[in-house]
Amino acid sequence: DAVFYVVATPIGNLGDLTPRAVDVLQSVALIAAEDTRHSGRLMGHFNIKTPMISVHDHNERQRLQTILDKLAAGDSIALISDAGTPLISDPGFIVVRGVREAGYKVVPIPGCCAVITAMCAAGLPTDRFVFEGFLPAKRSGRQQKLSEIIGETRTVIYYESTHRILDSLQDMIDVFGPDRYVVLARELTKTFETIHGDHVQALLEWVKQDHNQQKGEFVVLIQGVEPVVMEGFSAETLKVLDIMLAELP
Ligand code: SAM
């Protein structure tokens, strides 16, 4: 039966494409790629000659029908994005939902994902975390989003682009104050991979001092705040307190 594969590709280092991913990309009838020219280079490197069509943010709905027609004809398809795991701050959600709803099997082929790659080396708690995708492009929107996580006890993770890294760190200082601990994971798996953490004010100074640290792709990880421990209160008391607090203006 036709299968729809969701295949992770490297986030920089070509050695990170798994043998299983290569097998799948070679064996399917069609590859649905976010940017066929971009992915063409990856396919060339691995000598994969499978035909490609584009599936990106602006044509996902109409491509769904093409994909369903292909699957109905018995052709298996692999979805890839420009880098890392499709659907993670990348296109694919609409297609995957539609393919599942139509009753086809969706098989994930796991591999790189920048958020997980960053987290496993950042030295921040990983038992609970929140992934927030990209921060808004405008300062007011960014500060609003950041103010929503002031009291967050879990590690918070953002994707950030080279254009906005200085502004975003400044916004974090404005919203959290200078002392929140933040880790920058830059150019993961690539030649200039850097993973550096400090209190956010000191971190911004460090990034400003070195132009190279402002270039490339970033994952930003923000340490959660210590949970407030209310010792000596019964569970009942805490519950009542909670209800009363919710009523406060
Ligand atoms: N689907 C991808 C994944 O699985 O990680 C994410 C795609 S998203 C459009 C691109 C963003 O991911 C970049 O702006 C950056 O924040 C992050 N990213 C991707 N590759 C990275 C790398 N090698 N180092 C650090 N961040 C990276």
Using one digit for the tens of pLDDT, what is the confidence trace for 20-47? 999 999 999 999 999 999 999 999 999 9
Please write the tens of the pLDDT for every residue from 65-83.
999 999 999 999 999 999 9
ipTM score here?
Answer: 0.99
> What band does 244 get if pLDDT is binned at 50, 70 and 90?
confident
> What band does 231 get if pLDDT is binned at 50, 70 and 90?
confident
Please write the tens of the pLDDT for every residue from 85-96.
999 999 999 999
Ligand 1 centre to CA of 238 (Å) is 41
Report the percentage of the chain scoring pLDDT > 90: 90
Q: Nearest residue CA, atom 8 of ligand 1?
A: 89
Ligand 1: residue of 134, 159, 195, 220 to mutate (most ligand atoms within 8 A of CB) is: 159
For 25, 82, 215, 218, the CA distances from 32, given in Å and listed in that order, are 10, 11, 30, 26
Ligand 1 centre to CA of 217 (Å) is 6
pLDDT of residue 191: 97
pLDDT of residue 60: 96
* Residue with token string 């994930």: 108
Mean pLDDT of 123-137: 97
CA of 189, closest atom in ligand 1: 23
Q: Nearest residue CA, atom 16 of ligand 1?
A: 159
Please write the tens of the pLDDT for every residue from 164-198.
999 999 999 999 999 999 999 999 999 999 999 99
> What band does 149 get if pLDDT is binned at 50, 70 and 90?
very high
Q: What is the DSSP string of 8-26?
A: -B-SS-GGGS-HHHHHHHH
Ligand 1 environment, Cβ below 6 A: 11-12, 81, 83-85, 88-90, 113-115, 159-161, 185-190, 217-219
